[in-house]
């Protein structure tokens, strides 16, 4: 798990960029929309981390929970897409 808040912020931006790329490359409209929503979630989380960094009052546990939630949401979308492609 990422320990440094700035590292978490950078990682959120990397995830957002990856989601934007997947949305742009995708042909399935529902999946494109899912990736665009995930991009927004990662960007929102990055902004939240930046805000909390300025305030200095966010606990590591809270940041970790937020980060893990968005990460699990992204995994869920990717798994659903994989199952759809494989015809499950």
pLDDT at 33: 93
pLDDT tens digits along 1-24: 445 768 888 999 999 999 999 999
Which DSSP string do the residues of 8-76 spell out, in sequence order? HHHHHHHHHHHHHHHHHH---HHHHHHHHHHHHHHHHHHHHHHHHHHHT---HHHHHHHHHHHHHHHHH
pLDDT tens digits along 26-84: 899 998 999 999 999 999 988 888 877 776 655 677 767 777 877 787 787 777 767 77
């Amino acid at each position: 798990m990422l320990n440094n808040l700035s590292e978490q912020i950078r990682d959120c931006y990397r995830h957002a960029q990856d989601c934007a790329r997947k949305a742009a490359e995708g042909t399935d409209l529902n999946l494109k929309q899912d990736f665009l929503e995930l991009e927004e979630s990662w960007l929102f989380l990055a902004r939240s981390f930046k805000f909390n960094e300025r305030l200095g009052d966010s606990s590591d546990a809270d940041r970790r929970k937020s980060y893990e939630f968005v990460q699990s949401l992204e995994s869920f979308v990717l798994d659903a897409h994989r199952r759809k492609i494989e015809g499950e």
